[in-house]
Structure formats: structure tokens, C-alpha cells
Chains A and B, each alone.
Chain A
Amino acid sequence: MIPVTIDGQHIEVEEGTTILEAAQRLGIHIPTLCHHPALEPYGACRLCTVEIRTPPSPSDAGSGGTSGGRSRLVTSCNYPIRWEIEVQTASEKVLKGRKLLAELLLARCPNVPKVQELATSLGVTEVRFEPHDELCYLCGLCVRVCKELIGQSAISFVGRGVDREVGTPFLKFSDDCIACGACAFVCPTGAIKLEDITDKKPRPLLSEFDMGIAKRGNIYIPFPQAVPKIPVIDREHCLHYTLGRCGTCEYYCEANAIDYDQEDELIDVDVNAIIVATGFDMIDPHIKPEYGYGVYPEVMTGIEFERLSSASGPTMGEILVNGKKPKDVVFIKCVGSRDPHTGVPYCSRICCMYTAKHAHLVRDKFPDARITVFYMDVRAFGKGYEEFYDRVKHERVIYRRGEPSEIYRDSKRGGKLVVLAEDTMLGKPIEVEADLVVLATAVVPRTDTPGVAELLGIECSPDGFFQEAHSKLRPVDTSIDGVFIAGCCQGPKDIPDTVAQAKAAASSALGLLVRADKADRNPSADGTRPQDAADGRHDADKAPSEWRHPADKQHPADKQHPIEVGGGK
């Protein structure tokens, strides 16, 4: 460790530490424009220049000293500390040079906020040089990011002297650029625009949770309630995994949590019961090309609208379509549902109510909007549902009976979308203008349902969802004892039904656990082993006398919880 004194403060650093790093550790600010912690020191902007001198060594003390005392100016970002030095970051000499630099920068880039801030902080207000209007002050961050982190070297400095600028080879688009956008991202002034560098179009990564209406990074927390709530790296798109480069996140992460070598772990768990609650997918609305989903940005699915209107969503609940507040809002129900063509002969059960809720939300946000709900039948069957439907209708939401057949854009109506339908009550074809169309798409089994069914040995019903053991009497059991199903993996259902099923499945599983627990503690009493207890029906009458509440912490059996986590760590 080498002792250093910076502006009178003392610190000991490892050999090779730069002055800038040492100063930052002491909380001393040294201005810089070209330095970036993830890049090699560059020393181009010269703003970080400081004054150093070697202190007189004790051996020199008597002789007046020649090694110490003499000071010189160095750039702090790329000056490695090798022996004891004294640093002054704001001496008269330093400030004089820094002000001149700021003045030159201000002459070159008078409209760049970062330069203006720098000049103000140094008290530079007047410029003695001929003013220009540049955005780029040649810090080279873009060039170095592309070379050092991305490894492509797609851009570089071209030209000499006053003609020096950042550009592609021969100022032409080349294949070397991968349109990653790192150059534009790191550019502090907005001088670098991706479209000047390449004709390739960057592919934004869209947030799965926000249904693609917001972007996400390569490192992201999947959704706010994620368990565990830790960020993940998208290996398919991360440059480190795809090209073996970058690694910027590892540099930045103060907790050293980035571990590129981390592998998926397979964990073996011994259990007495399994509850399958894998949920559902929504049908791809492209299956109904007549509605122009994917063609018109005004056409979205219910779940996309849900994210758009959510106060915790990417727009904080502000509903804007093409940048404008919608005046005419159309909801279309049964998109894909009740339609054997799409493989969804059943009713999706939740759409009538969530569409009513969405209409209510639109009314809440836009009191003057014209809201039309197209329906084939309204199925408001749950407790309080019909009342909610009534309420929404009283909120001036117009329900029109008829399944729309087509959506197109009409240039004669100022480019508005037009929903074609027959109002079957009127018995005539109608055209309804729309700024926003929300499709209540069908609930379908998850694509991995057959795989999970095969894994567990349970069955699927003809609609593709998991098959319950008996449609009326054993709705959460399956054909395999000890495997239970709950929620939309069994079929479309709303939240109250899902919760009821989840509780039923949990209590069914609990019964098994209690019996298995009893058998473990007293295997000779009735000869029952946990495996026998897995068949939950025949010995149900034996359990009550031995039953205990799972929250009863005093019970000694807590030390041998029937669920054992093994393998993995």
C-alpha cells in the first residue's frame, strides 16, 4: 500500500491505482468528460489534470531535498500511483488550465448542457474564441465502448485536426455495426445517432410482463412481485453470452452479484403431494386477422390494456393511443372463444367481467368517451357480477349485440379505425369509429401443458386443460393420487373460483401430509406408510384423532417436516 495525500487528505492505495480513483475514494470531485469506469483510461479531455509532487523523503530532509518539492501536471485518470505523492486537484495552475479547456469546449459546443454546466462550475462565462455549434466534443466514449466492450470497432475517429470526427469507415454503413446502440447510449451529448451509424434497425427488448408495451433491459427483474425478487440476465440477447464481450454490468455491480458462470440448478424435492397451478396463456390474436391486431397500434388485447391502464404500469395508468387520448373506445368480446375453428369451443368465462371493468376504467379516465362493448352474450354469473354489469351500463357504456367482423382504417374518416359489425338488435350492418379497440382474447391452455401432464402422469381434457378426477365431485383431484390441480390450468376461471380451488387443493394436500406425518412418527401403529397415505380416500376416517394444526409449533414432528429439500446447494 502506498500513502497518498490529496488536497491534504491522506489515503493508502494499492500500487497502480489512478489518482482519479484515489480521489473518488476520498469523495474529492475531479471533473472529466472522457473518463468512464468501464473503459480503459484515455486522457483525452485533459480536464482531470491535477498537480502532483513527490514529498521530500526523510533521507533528503537534511540536504534540502531534490526529489521532492518539484511539482508537475498530470492527467489523473491515467496516472497510476507507484510511489508516495502529494496531489492538488484545484491548485491555481490546475484551475487556470481547466478554465481554458472549459472555454475552448464552450466555444466548440455552446449548446451542450454538459459543457455549459462545466463552464458554469468553473466560472467561465465569456468565450474569447470563435464560437461553433458542435454536439460532439470528441471524448471518444462511443469509439471506445464499441472497441473495448462490444468488440466491434464499427466506429472510429476519422479526419485530422479540425476535421476530426466520429464516423464509420469511409463514412459508409458497414456490416460490422450490430446496431447494439451502446455508442448512442454512452454519448453524453446526443451527438451519436444510431441511424447515422447503420441502416440496421435495433430490435428493442420488450417487457414480457408489460405485454410488450414497454421496453426492458438485458438485465431485469421479471415483474414487481417476482419471487425471488432478483434481476436475471437475458442470455439470449446479452452481448456477454452471445459474443463473449461487454461485461459492463459486472464492473458496475457493487455487490459483486454478477456471476456469468452461474448455471441452472436442478433441485430434488421429496414430497407427498403436488399441487399443479401452472396457469394459462392467452390466444394469439393474429388468429383473427380480420381485427388487424399487429397491423394497427390502436388494436390491443385486454391484457395489454390492463398494463396500459394500470397505475403501476409503464405509463402510470395514462391511456394514450398514438400519443392521444382515445375518444371512441370499442371492446370486442369472445375473440377466439366459443369458436371451434380456433380450437377454443368453450367460453373463456372471465372476459365479460374484465371487459366491464375495462369499460369502467375508461369511463373513469375519460368521462366524455364514447364506449361501445360488442358482445354475443353477456355472462355475468358470479356473485355481484350482474350488479357490476348494471353499474357499468349506467355509466353510459353502450352494449351492442353483434360480433364485429372486420376492422379497417378509413382515410375518409381522417384515418380513424372503423369497426364493421351487424347490430343484430337493429338487424343492420353498422360502422363504428374507434381510437382504441380492445380485444377480449380467449384463455387457452399453456403451451407446456402436455409436457407437464406427461411428467406427472395426469390427463388433459379435450379442451387441452388438465383433467380433474371427476367434473363434479373431485374438481381438484387428478387421476394420480397426491397430484392436485388448481386455477386456470384446469380451465378458465375468475379469481374467486381460482382462490376456492387453490384452497381446496391445499387442504386436500394437507390431509395427505398429516397422515404421512402420523405414519412417519408411528409406523407400527397401523402399518401405514406415507406411500399408503397418498391414497387420500380410504383412510380419511382415521385421521381426526391425530390431527394437529400445522401452525402448532410445539409439535415435535416439526423437526421432521415431511417436505425435504435435498440436492442443489
Chain B
Amino acid sequence: MALKTGPVTEQLELFGCIQCGKCTGGCPVARKTALNIRSLIYHMLVEPEMKLDKHPELWDCTCCFTCVERCPKDVRPADLIIELRGQLVEGGRIPETIGAALMGVFRQGNPTGMAREDRAAWADGTEIKAAQEGCEVLYFVGCSPAYDLRVQAVARALVRAFQAAGLDFGTLGTDESCCGNEVRRMGEVGLFEMLAEENAEQFRSVGAKQLVATSPHCFNTFKNEYGLDDADQNPIEVLHYTQLIAKLIEQGRLKFSKEVNKTVTYHDPCFLGKQNHIFDEPRAILDAIPGVKLVEMDRSRERSLCCEGGGGRMWAEGTNLEERLAFQRVQEAAETGAEILAVACPFCLLTLEDAVKVQGLDEQLQVMDIMELVDLAL
């Protein structure tokens, strides 16, 4: 499948690239696979065609956006990957598992393809208001927290904290659909636009002032790609849960009654940290939990190492199965002496928890979402 480079190069304004290599130098997967985004951009600039079939590494990108963050010339290298994936999607040349995930979103509103009717099953036994009845804060649960048995615990912990703080919140229940963040990054722009339109309409119809998401991935697309802050049609403030919980603690609405005497290190998720610069709130929450001793990994904040769960990688293994970044990451966490590796992202929770088991660290290191720690201290 040969792509004419000219139109894409124009559309993405790749001409400003000075080939400094800062994108590839910082790319976490470039160190282990053939992916070289700087070289791809150069190819786009100087060659008339690109044979996309020759680049299976295009599916290695985790869309951590380190390249976009660090590019001195505003070239947005990762956007080229997303665009090239889009070309592959249009041509139907995509890994089977990616196709299945997209189909799942299209049919059931979630990439696992599980039944839409079961989307609220995680909340059985909790009393959560239907957002449609009207609420101040709309809680967007997200696909993984709704369906994944491990991540459901995070959603339930979050609900307990909201209730403890007396927050007026509701969820969309089975009406909630995938946010489309990963869909867009897998290159399926049409499906993303459909989801964005329907979701935004639904959010506005609820009349909530704030929208809070469990996952930094949902949060990212709501905040940066949905246009929910549009002042012309009652703007909705988009928050990640760490922002809201940190605020509730600061305001004294969320109080802790128990101690969690653990040494904790925190892994910055790319979609929360690098892409949205939310570094302090998660740490503020951990600091506020009585008994928690927070230690930092060497690579933290802007230099956090990607867990390799983003950009559709939850549904595609990529070209190098052996050297997972998550393996490296949990080793780094273990080196700090922490007993708990805290995360604030469902994907990080899953990838790092798997890595802890594979690396044989499960007796010394436990991966927990920040909300689970908060829940222990309530």
C-alpha cells in the first residue's frame, strides 16, 4: 500500500522539521523496535511515496506524545503516526486485534466488545444517581473501569470517595459509550468523530458543570478534542479524578480516618502527566493520606517512562514482545524500596500489574490505583 507523501506532509506541516532527532531520541519504543519517527518524517519530506506495508512498527507507537512535547519546532511527530494509521485503517490493513477493538467500540460502545447492557454491572450494590436526573458532576466511568474486573475496584473506590465527600454526582449507566481517545489514536477518525459528537451531546443534555473521568485517556480527549469548554453552549469543565479528589481533600470535604503505613512510589501516566501536565495533584493526594511515605522514582514527572498501554497498544502487541517497557518500569519502582506502585490510569494499572507478576516482584511490590489507597484510608 503506497501512500503519496505530498498531501499528508502539507496537511501536517512537516516542512518545519529540522531533523534534530529529539523525537526519536526520547521515544520510549524507538529503543526497542524499528520505529523512528524522525526518519519517517524525513521520508515524508523527501520521497514521493511511502510503502505503509513496510512499516509494521507504526503500530508500536503508544501515543505517549513525548515527541510532541519535546519537539522544538511544533511539528507534532505523533500526529503523523496517527495519520498513517488512519491511512491503513481506510485501506483495511490493520492488525486483527485492532480491528476487533474498533468493531467492539462500534457495536457495543467499548473496545472489549462486551455487551452494552453489562456496562453498569460494576456498580451493582452501590447507589449511584443516574446523571440523566440531573447532577453537578458527571462521572464518566470509562470502558476499562466498567468492564475489567481488576479496574472495577477503582471505579467503586472513586464512588465511595465521592459519596463520603457528599458530592452531587451521577453516571450515564449503560448509556455511556467509549470516549474514543484510543479509537482516534488507532487511526479510526470517522468512528472517533461519531463518538465525540454523540458523547458531547449527551454530556450537555445532562446539564452537569463538571465532567470527571477515571482514565487520563478519556480525560485527555474530553479536555482537548471535544470542545466541551465552548462558551456558547454551556461549558463543561473537564477534570481527571485526581484533580477533583485533591480539591475535595484540600477543601476538607474528604477526610481520612485510617492510616496506610506504606512506602509508595507514583508512576506518572503519559496522558495525565506529559500530555496534560498534571503532576502535583496525584502527589498531593498521596501526601494527604495518613501514613503514606511517598518516594520518587528517578524518572518521574516529565521524564516518566511510558507503560506501553496507550495508543491502541492495549489491543496490539507491537513488534517487540520481549522487552516490555512495563518490565523496566516496575524494576525502577522496586529499586526505590516502595511497597506500592501507585498509578492513576487503568491502562498503567493493568500493564504494570502484569509486569510485576512476570518480573517476579509480586511479593515486594503491589500495583494500586491512587483511589484504592484513598479508599483504604477513608
| A334 cross-chain contacts in B, Cβ below 8 A | 20, 72
| B25 cross-chain contacts in A, Cβ below 8 A | 402-406, 420-422, 429-430
Within 8 A of B (CB), among A256-309: 289-290, 292
B268 CB to closest chain A CB, in angstroms?
12
Instruction: Tell me, yes or no, whether B45 is within 8 Å of chain A by CB.
Output: no
A351 CB to closest chain B CB, in angstroms?
14
Q: Is the Cβ of A376 less than 8 Å from the Cβ of B303? A: no
Q: Of the 9-residue stretches A26-34, A317-325, A335-343, A553-561, which lies at the interface with chain B?
A: A335-343
| B299 cross-chain contacts in A, Cβ below 8 A | 408
Tally of B interface residues using CB under 8 Å:
26
Q: Is the Cβ of A406 less than 8 Å from the Cβ of B21? A: no
Q: Is the Cβ of A424 less than 8 Å from the Cβ of B19? A: yes
Asked, given contacts A376-B18, A408-B298, whether A292 binds B72 with beta carbons under 8 Å apart, the answer is: no
| B26 cross-chain contacts in A, Cβ below 8 A | 290, 405-406, 420
Instruction: Tell me, yes or no, whether A161 is within 8 Å of chain B by CB.
Output: no
Instruction: Tell me, yes or no, whether A327 is within 8 Å of chain B by CB.
Output: no
Instruction: Tell me, yes or no, whether B24 is within 8 Å of chain A by CB.
Output: yes
Asked, given contacts A290-B70, A292-B303, A341-B74, whether A402 binds B39 with beta carbons under 8 Å apart, the answer is: no
Instruction: Tell me, yes or no, whether A393 is within 8 Å of chain B by CB.
Output: no
A352 CB to closest chain B CB, in angstroms?
14
Instruction: Tell me, yes or no, whether B335 is within 8 Å of chain A by CB.
Output: yes
Q: Is the Cβ of A290 less than 8 Å from the Cβ of B20? A: no
In the complex, per-residue mask of B21-35: 1 if CB is within 8 Å of any chain A CB, else 0: 111111100110000
Q: Is the Cβ of B24 less than 8 Å from the Cβ of A422? A: yes
Residue of A nearest to B69 (CB): A290
Asked, given contacts A422-B24, A422-B30, whether A406 binds B303 with beta carbons under 8 Å apart, the answer is: yes
Q: How far is the CA of A341 from the CA of B20 in the complex (A)?
A: 15
Q: How far is the CA of A422 from the CA of B72 in the complex (A)?
A: 15
Q: Is the Cβ of B36 less than 8 Å from the Cβ of A422? A: yes
In the complex, per-residue mask of B1-29: 1 if CB is within 8 Å of any chain A CB, else 0: 00000000000000000111111111100
Q: Is the Cβ of A422 less than 8 Å from the Cβ of B18? A: no
Q: Is the Cβ of B21 less than 8 Å from the Cβ of A409? A: no
Of A376, A405, A428, A431, which contacts B70 at CB under 8 A?
Answer: A405
| B72 cross-chain contacts in A, Cβ below 8 A | 334, 338-341, 403
Residue of B nearest to A376 (CB): B20
Q: Is the Cβ of B302 less than 8 Å from the Cβ of A290? A: yes
Of A376, A402, A411, which contacts B335 at CB under 8 A?
Answer: A411
B100 CB to closest chain A CB, in angstroms?
31
Q: Is the Cβ of A422 less than 8 Å from the Cβ of B301? A: no
Q: How far is the CA of A320 from the CA of B298 in the complex (A)?
A: 23
| B70 cross-chain contacts in A, Cβ below 8 A | 290, 405
Q: How far is the CA of A408 from the CA of B31 in the complex (A)?
A: 15
Q: Is the Cβ of A401 less than 8 Å from the Cβ of B21? A: yes
A23 CB to closest chain B CB, in angstroms?
60
A429 CB to closest chain B CB, in angstroms?
5
Instruction: Tell me, yes or no, whether B93 is within 8 Å of chain A by CB.
Output: no
Q: Is the Cβ of B36 less than 8 Å from the Cβ of A428? A: yes
| A422 cross-chain contacts in B, Cβ below 8 A | 21-25, 30, 36, 38
| B24 cross-chain contacts in A, Cβ below 8 A | 405, 422, 424, 429
Q: How far is the CA of A377 from the CA of B302 in the complex (A)?
A: 26
Q: How far is the CA of A405 from the CA of B28 in the complex (A)?
A: 11
Q: Is the Cβ of A289 less than 8 Å from the Cβ of B27? A: no
Instruction: Tell me, yes or no, whether A84 is within 8 Å of chain B by CB.
Output: no
Q: Is the Cβ of B20 less than 8 Å from the Cβ of A409? A: no
B303 CB to closest chain A CB, in angstroms?
6
Residue of A nearest to B27 (CB): A429
Q: Is the Cβ of A340 less than 8 Å from the Cβ of B74? A: yes
Instruction: Tell me, yes or no, whether B107 is within 8 Å of chain A by CB.
Output: no
Asked, given contacts A341-B72, A429-B25, A429-B30, whether A424 binds B20 with beta carbons under 8 Å apart, the answer is: yes
Q: Is the Cβ of B302 less than 8 Å from the Cβ of A409? A: no
In the complex, per-residue mask of B71-85: 1 if CB is within 8 Å of any chain A CB, else 0: 011100000000000
Q: How far is the CA of A404 from the CA of B36 in the complex (A)?
A: 15
B15 CB to closest chain A CB, in angstroms?
15
In the complex, per-residue mask of B225-251: 1 if CB is within 8 Å of any chain A CB, else 0: 000000000000000000000000000
Q: How far is the CA of A214 from the CA of B310 in the complex (A)?
A: 45
A330 CB to closest chain B CB, in angstroms?
13
Within 8 A of B (CB), among A414-456: 420-424, 427-431
Residue of B nearest to A405 (CB): B26
Q: How far is the CA of A290 from the CA of B70 in the complex (A)?
A: 8
Within 8 A of B (CB), among A367-406: 376-377, 401-406
Q: Is the Cβ of B298 less than 8 Å from the Cβ of A402? A: no
Instruction: Tell me, yes or no, whether B171 is within 8 Å of chain A by CB.
Output: no
Q: How far is the CA of A505 from the CA of B30 in the complex (A)?
A: 52
Q: How far is the CA of A292 from the CA of B297 in the complex (A)?
A: 13
Q: Is the Cβ of B36 less than 8 Å from the Cβ of A408? A: no
Q: How far is the CA of A408 from the CA of B299 in the complex (A)?
A: 6
Q: How far is the CA of A532 from the CA of B261 in the complex (A)?
A: 80
Q: Is the Cβ of B303 less than 8 Å from the Cβ of A289? A: yes
Q: How far is the CA of A257 from the CA of B36 in the complex (A)?
A: 66
Most chain A CB neighbours (cut-off 10 Å) among B20, B23, B73: B20
Instruction: Tell me, yes or no, whether B66 is within 8 Å of chain A by CB.
Output: yes
Q: How far is the CA of A429 from the CA of B33 in the complex (A)?
A: 10
| A404 cross-chain contacts in B, Cβ below 8 A | 22, 25
B203 CB to closest chain A CB, in angstroms?
32
Q: How far is the CA of A341 from the CA of B36 in the complex (A)?
A: 23
Most chain B CB neighbours (cut-off 10 Å) among A409, A424, A430: A424
Q: How far is the CA of A427 from the CA of B30 in the complex (A)?
A: 11
Residue of A nearest to B25 (CB): A405
Q: How far is the CA of A341 from the CA of B303 in the complex (A)?
A: 18
Q: Is the Cβ of A403 less than 8 Å from the Cβ of B22? A: yes
B111 CB to closest chain A CB, in angstroms?
30
| A401 cross-chain contacts in B, Cβ below 8 A | 21
Q: How far is the CA of A341 from the CA of B18 in the complex (A)?
A: 15
Of A377, A405, A407, which contacts B22 at CB under 8 A?
Answer: A405
Q: How far is the CA of A392 from the CA of B326 in the complex (A)?
A: 42
Q: Is the Cβ of A427 less than 8 Å from the Cβ of B36? A: yes
Q: Is the Cβ of A421 less than 8 Å from the Cβ of B21? A: yes
| A339 cross-chain contacts in B, Cβ below 8 A | 72-73
A-B contact pairs, 12 of them (CB 8 A): A340-B74, A376-B18, A403-B72, A405-B25, A406-B303, A420-B26, A421-B22, A421-B25, A422-B21, A422-B23, A422-B25, A429-B27
* A-B residue pairs, 6 tightest by C-beta: A405-B26, A405-B25, A422-B21, A339-B72, A402-B21, A422-B24
- Given contacts A341-B72, A408-B299, A422-B38, 15 further A-B pairs with CB under 8 A are A290-B70, A290-B303, A334-B72, A338-B72, A339-B73, A402-B22, A403-B72, A405-B21, A405-B70, A420-B26, A423-B21, A424-B38, A427-B36, A429-B25, A429-B36
